[in-house]
Amino acid sequence: MTSCILNATSNRSLAICWLLSQPPYAHPAIHLTVMVEKREISLEHKTWGSLVTLGVSALPASQSFLITHFPEYPNAAETQLFRTALLLELTPIQPDIRRLANSVFDEEQLLVRLANELFQIRSEQRANAMRWFLNGLRIWGIEIFDQPHRAIFQDSLWSQWSKRMGLIQMPRAAFDFIIQGLPAEFAVMARESIVKDMGVSCLILNPGTQRKILEFPLDINPIAVRFLDKGASLDLVAHKLLNGNTLLKVSLSDNEKGWGLWNAFRDEMERLGWFSIPAIENMSLPVDFKTTESNRPEPSSSNTDSEPLPPIDEPKKESPQIWLMIPDKGWDRECIRLWHRGLTCKDIGIRLQKTDKTILNRLNQLRKEFGEQTVPYRNANYRSG
């Protein structure tokens, strides 16, 4: 049994673990289950059974404690359940297993041997499952606090010369990510995001030709966004899905700077409502889970987990293109787009280099011209993240 500290509340950790069990984040061979009331996560191989159980508990300062429990050595009864799968896996490569399987007198000895093989297979699959699980958490910005990090000196003279000569290809990480809205809207948001305030350049590209796009229609699909920083890059290709959402194919430099770019941009998307983390009470419970079997009170949670999380698949109250009803004149349309994205007058003023009062007066004027549906008094369709 091992333990570690995560840089997220227990509610958020559980919710993100549930997301990892859903497409497109789910593993093809690993079944992940979140048991909400027990505050546990189980990882099972679809062929070889239970691999590991993870307990999650709350800590102060928006942290959580992750405890790892490994399954016991398989007994004869459990091994018997996997007998056929083990024989199909092992007999082609292990002649002694084939001999034992063909003898009616060596069944007990065969089960002992198969139990050891099952334990070894599960150990290998557990390492793969935990690697996938921790990489999945990293996509959502969850990392382990209390683990040592190896120092990598990427800016040494040898590293710089080797990269220039093409001798070293910097490693990259790649994954899929689902957001709301259209690819064209995503590109506009990316171009105006706070990431560029970090001194990062942003390019909007045609994915096929890699040529820079200055203007793009609302129905463009797909579209690519590239953030470039010294020693790191973040590439995103946005594809429209049939359900109206957008699939991001994400590729980034697998180093501290590359992940820093993704974390900053993902946090900005969450703040503006491009995706939401589900509330744990809305998660699907395991099929065999029965609340009537336990009369224990619900575990008390720390006040660090008390803030409500937005429900999954929260319906939009307005069409995401409603700001297009404003004529593209001056900064009017961009002002309304940012207003519908949930920014305050102060935030919009910073983006457009205007004063708070100028933004407020212009919103009031546009509301008189186009009505409250287009320019609401409040950010009615702000999708809180």
Per residue in 168-191, pLDDT tens? 456 899 999 999 999 999 999 998
Residues 181, 131 share a domain: no
CA gap 200, 233 in Å, rounded: 9
Which residues are paired to 203 by β-bridges? 226
Contact 179, 172 (CB under 8 A): no
Residues 220, 137 share a domain: no
In a domain, 234, yes or no: yes
Q: What is the mean pLDDT of residues 75-93?
A: 89
Per residue in 265-274, pLDDT tens? 999 999 889 9
Indicate which CATH number applies to the domain containing 104.
3.30.310
Residues 118, 10 share a domain: yes
Residues 210, 252 share a domain: yes
Per residue in 245-294, pLDDT tens? 999 999 999 999 999 999 999 999 998 899 989 887 655 444 333 333 33
pLDDT score of 307: 39
In a domain, 106, yes or no: yes
Residues 98, 196 share a domain: no
Band of the pLDDT at 163, cuts 50, 70, 90? low
Band of the pLDDT at 343, cuts 50, 70, 90? confident
Domain residue limits at 106: 1-144
Residues 175, 137 share a domain: no
Residues 117, 23 share a domain: yes
